[in-house]
Amino acid sequence: MTKFVATIFTVSTLLWSTLSVAQSGDTDGPNANILRWASGTYAYTTLSDPRDRGWERFHMNVYADGSRTMNMWHDLKARSAQFTVIHRVEANFRPIETFVSYWVANGFKGSTLIRIDGDTLTASASGPAGQHDQTIPVPDVFSVGTHPVSADGWHLWSDNGESGVDQSSKIYSMEASADVTKPPLGTVRDLAFKRIGEETITVPAGTFDTIHYDLSGSQVWITKEDRLMVRMINERFDRDYVLTEFDNENYGEAR
């Protein structure tokens, strides 16, 4: 028994044990690692009907060094897709690391770990298509597109603040089709956007001070500090992604 107790504490509960608490000193919070957080839910609908196409949940942390982690889960039932993603970015939103797990209409498509070290992106994908590794150069200004919408505002981090002017960036966009013979790896593409201006909009989750962009034909409204998606619409494809629930803490006055 004694042996197992010693073992199991290092196994499952070392971090939580009273011993570690005694070493670190009790705290009643908040967690020193978390500068602020936000969580929420999106509804996916068509613009015209509107018809329910799916939904998404997210939880974002901002850490003491300014970096952010976005946890995303979506159920895009309209496409029989279900994606689970953890996405980390630096204080300036440049990607650090991403993990995706994709289920598509034809079953499990695979999972991929993507890491960025300076100007090099390495990705390792495994799934029905087998094991595939990728190493490619990436520019200083780029983002990772994983397809849930929560972090899509992070594609716009290079915005120069000038409204009405065409701007461009790069995106490492993940292959996410229903074809499971194609591994979930990405390619770097051009991404065009235009800052429209600051707007206050009301969605089911509340009223938000936002920046409005044209993102390659989609209209997006994102929060200022953390670039969280509030709403994205695409009239051409009859799509609407809207924040329906929002919760946060220490998130500032103008959420």
Partner 1 sequence: MKLGALSKTVFATYAVLFSGTAFAAELGQNPNVTRWSEGTIVYRTIETQRVRAHESWRLTAHPDGSRTIRSFVDNFDAESQLNMIHRVAKDFRPLESLVTYWSKGNYRGSGMFSVDGPTLTATLSGPQGPLMETVDVPEKFSMVPHPLATDSWHTWYFDKAKGGAQTTTLYNVQIAAPSDTPALGRLENGTMTFEGVEEVTVPAGTFTTDHYTMNDSIHIWVSGPDNMMVRYAMPTRDLEYVLTSLKTGATK
Residue 160 binding partner 1, by CB under 8 A: no
Residues 174-233 that bind partner 1 (CB under 8 A): 176-177, 187, 189-194, 214, 216-218
Stretch that binds partner 1, among 134-142, 168-176, 195-203, 219-227 (CB under 8 A): 168-176
Nearer to partner 1, 69 or 134 (CB): 69
The least CB distance from residue 191 to partner 1, in Å, is: 6
How many of the other CB atoms lie within 10 Å of CB of 84? Answer: 16
Nearer to partner 1, 167 or 209 (CB): 167
Residue 111 binding partner 1, by CB under 8 A: yes
Residue 4 binding partner 1, by CB under 8 A: yes
Nearer to partner 1, 152 or 254 (CB): 152
User: Contacts with partner 1: how many residues (CB under 8 A)?
Assistant: 93
Helix (H) or strand (E) holding 7: helix 2-8
Q: What character string, x for contact with partner 1 (CB under 8 A) and - otherwise, covers 79-98? A: xxxx-xxx-x--------x-
Q: Out of 40, 95, 145, 183, point to the residue binding partner 1 (CB under 8 A).
A: 145
Longest CA pairwise span in the chain (Å) = 70
- How would DSSP label each residue in 9-30? IIIIITTTSHHHHHHH----S-
Residue 121 binding partner 1, by CB under 8 A: no
Task: Name residue 107's amino acid.
Answer: G
The least CB distance from residue 210 to partner 1, in Å, is: 20
Residue 64 binding partner 1, by CB under 8 A: yes
Task: Name residue 198's amino acid.
Answer: E
Residue 66 binding partner 1, by CB under 8 A: no
Residue 58 binding partner 1, by CB under 8 A: no
E strand residue ranges, 92-160? 95-104, 107-117, 120-126, 132-137, 143-145
Contacts for 30-36: CB closer than 8 Å, 24+ residues apart:
30/249, 30/250, 32/64, 33/61, 33/63, 33/64, 34/61, 34/62, 34/63, 35/61, 35/62, 35/63, 35/64, 35/66, 35/250, 36/61, 36/62, 36/226, 36/248, 36/249, 36/250, 36/251, 36/252
Residue 129 binding partner 1, by CB under 8 A: no
Residue 20 binding partner 1, by CB under 8 A: yes
Residue 113 binding partner 1, by CB under 8 A: yes
The least CB distance from residue 244 to partner 1, in Å, is: 11
Residue 158 binding partner 1, by CB under 8 A: no
Cα radius of gyration rounded to whole Å, the chain: 20
Cβ atoms of 103 and 184 closer than 8 Å: no
